Structure 1
Amino acid sequence: MSNKETTKDSTKELFSVLVKEALTLSNSEPLLKSVLDELIVFRQSFAEVLAMSLSRKLASSLLSRSQLEILFLSTYKENPSIVEDATADLCATMDRDPACKSYLEPLLFFKGYQAIQAYRIAHVLWKDERFFLAEMLQSLISQKFAVDIHPAAKIGRGIFLDHATGLVVGETARIGNNVSILHGVTLGGTGNETGDRHPKISDGVMIGAHAQLLGNIHIGKGAKVGAGAVVLEDVPPHVTVAGVPAVKVGRPENALPSLEMNQNFTRDTNSKPAK
């Protein structure tokens, strides 16, 4: 499967793959059979699988597993596009993470994937003006996954959050499609200003670990941000920036560096402009 496949048919195909993987794993690891049956094999759709797995992860004294499962299922039923987003995100993780050997792994274990799916539900709640419930879900996501994404932020599909620990995404941040972000990244403001105050990330951008992007800045399509960079100004499309403060150090070898996940920024110094 490809992370570009985000139709209803591709979601059904992904669900079929997950069931096959679960059955195969159950045969080789009988200890896992009961949990795999409950979470995957006995479900009727990918939406059910997501609702079951996320509700188990996020259940707390504030909201029980059954309450969360009902909330998630109803949200998926009313907003099927976010199930397709989840399909694209899972395919993106499988495509871009060399440590990922099956679709089951990110679905059940990778907190970056889980956090972005829980955010998507919180975002729907926010748009429906159920602000307090959205913020409560945001708090649970932060506690369980160490990922803090404001429910008002707007995020596209085909997103890969690698490791994800310490990720912060502010209220007015925007993230396009097919973006890859490593752990410790901040898309934040520069102080106590109000209004539109957070970064805007275009399609195909890759942001290295612990990069800090601050203010209402724009990161152009296919740009690459080095690990530990502090970015305070706009970054043009297809440019590599690094350093404190960040400066241009070259151009990515590929038009969409988020898909390649190449962390070697020295290669970009002599690269020709990406097409």
Structure 2
Amino acid sequence: MSEPAIILSHDPVWRRVRTEAEAIAKHEPALAGFVYGTVLDQPTLEDAIAERVANRLQDPHLHSTHIRNAFREALEDDPDLADIFRADILAVFDRDAACERTIEPILYFKGFQALAAHRVAHSLWTRGQRDFALMMQSRSSAEFQVDIHPAVPMGRGIFIDHATGVVIGATARLGNDVSLLQGVTLGGTGKERGDRHPKISSGVLVGAGAKILGNFEIGACSRVAAGSVVLSAVPPNVTVAGVPARIVGAAGCSEPSRTMDQILADFADER
């Protein structure tokens, strides 16, 4: 058995993505060249992700070959990144009601693509290639409308839904299984330097348009309601809402970031 065949047999996510790619190529002849070039001609899932992101981010000053090489070097530096990419894909498939196939984040969803680009930019940043990292950030911001400083560490299973307008400052940090919707800002409160951005614990759901400003922690498995402005620390397992945000009740479940329930009707009587 050839090496690609061995990899395929032990990689259920990649096997499923390829099956879905074959179906697209069969049923959408106009997209066959795109699907073959991005997925079916690639030896691994990681190469497919690199191919898609590189083709989206390239410009006259940053060739796609350099971006593909940056992906390979990031994977060599941190082999766990391969599993993290898969966790991110499955997070989209699990949490996004509009996602019906595992291939969709790779081909079409800019939240996943921006996150993959950020993970490579973060690898570049931590290995001292800061200008390359900032160039990746700049291109990702322009192409995806997602602006994440390359210094930001993130756990696995991150989901950025719709993604437009997401801004994450340099000293922010995200745990595992965090879900962010469009228009979210994890920012500072002014021109202060040093550690100045929020720390988002695992399992947190941050609703559309929410602004979390300052150096404090959002506790594990909490919910931040859409449109809220959070200016102080949030305990674990609660829901906060409003401007400025206040605690309005419990989180409503053990895993808000996975259930994606943003309805606050259960707190109507309490208010």
- Normalization by structure 1: what TM-score? 0.92
Q: Distance in 2 between matches of 1:113 and 1:167?
A: 12
Q: Distance in 2 between matches of 1:211 and 1:130?
A: 32
Tell me the CA shift for residue 9 of structure 1: 9.2
Tell me the CA shift for residue 32 of structure 1. Answer: 1.5
Q: Is the 8 A contact 2:183 2:209 kept in 1?
A: yes
Instruction: Give the conservation status (yes or no) of the 8 Å contact 1:250–1:269.
Output: no
Counterpart position of 2:3: none
Greater shift after overlay, 217-226 or 33-42? 33-42
State the distance in 2 between where 1:227 and 1:10 align.
42
**Cα gap change, 1:12 to 1:77, in 2 (>3 Å):** farther
CA-atom RMSD in angstroms = 1.7
Which letter does structure 1 place at the counterpart of 2:158?
I
Deviations 1:41-90 (A, max 9, x none): 12111111111111011010111122222222232233221221111010
Q: Deviations over 1:201-225 (max 9, x none)?
A: 1110000011000000110011000
Task: Between 235-244 and 11-20, report the one with greater CA deviation.
Answer: 11-20
8 Å contact from structure 2 (residues 124, 130) kept in 1:
yes
The answer to whether the Cα contact below 8 Å between 1:94 and 1:102 also exists between their aligned partners in 2 is yes
| Counterpart residue number, 2:135 | 136
Structure 1 stretch displaced more, 117-126 or 78-87: 78-87
Distance verdict in 2 for CA 1:9–1:265, change over 3 Å: farther
Is there any run of 5+ residues in structure 1 with no aligned partner, and where? 1-7
Secondary structure of the corresponding residue to residue 114 of structure 1 = helix
**Paired letter, 1:49:** A
CA contact (8 A) 2:8 2:14 kept: no
Correspondence for 1:36: 35
Which residue of structure 1 aligns with residue 113 of structure 2?
A: 114
In the aligned structure 2, how far is the partner of 1:9 from the partner of 1:76?
Answer: 18
3-state DSSP of counterpart to 1:63: coil
Task: Provide the C-alpha distance between the structure 1 equivalents of 2:82 and 2:136, rounded to a whole number of angstroms.
Answer: 18
Q: Contact 2:225–2:242 (CA<8 Å) still a contact in 1?
A: yes
The alignment partner of 2:11 has SS state of: helix
Percent sequence identity over aligned pairs: 44
Q: 1:9 to 1:215 in 2, by over 3 A?
A: farther
Q: Distance in 2 between matches of 1:9 and 1:208?
A: 37
Please name the residue that 1:5 is paired with: none
Matches of residues 32-181 of structure 1 in structure 2 within 5 Å? 32-181=31-180
What secondary structure is seen at the aligned counterpart in 2 of 1:94? helix
Query: Do the aligned residues in 1 keep the contact of 2:9 with 2:15 (CA within 8 Å)?
Result: no
In structure 2, C-alpha distance between the alignment counterparts of 1:254 and 1:264, rounded to whole Å: 12
Rounded Cα–Cα distance in structure 2 between residues aligned with 1:210 and 1:131: 29
Answering whether residue 227 of structure 2 is matched by residue 228 of structure 1, we say yes
CA contact (8 A) 2:8 2:15 kept: no
Taking a change above 3 Å as real, the CA distance of residues 11 and 158 of structure 1, as seen in their structure-2 partners, is farther
Q: What's the secondary structure of 1:241's corresponding residue?
A: strand
- TM superposition shift of 1:116: 0.5
For residues 137-183 of structure 1, the C-alpha deviation after alignment (integer angstroms, 9 at most, x for no partner) is 11011000000000001111101100011101111101100010001
For residue 149 of structure 2, what is the amino acid of its counterpart?
Answer: H
Q: Say whether the 8 Å CA contact 1:240–1:268 is kept in structure 2.
A: no
Off by >6 Å, runs of 4+ in structure 1: 8-11
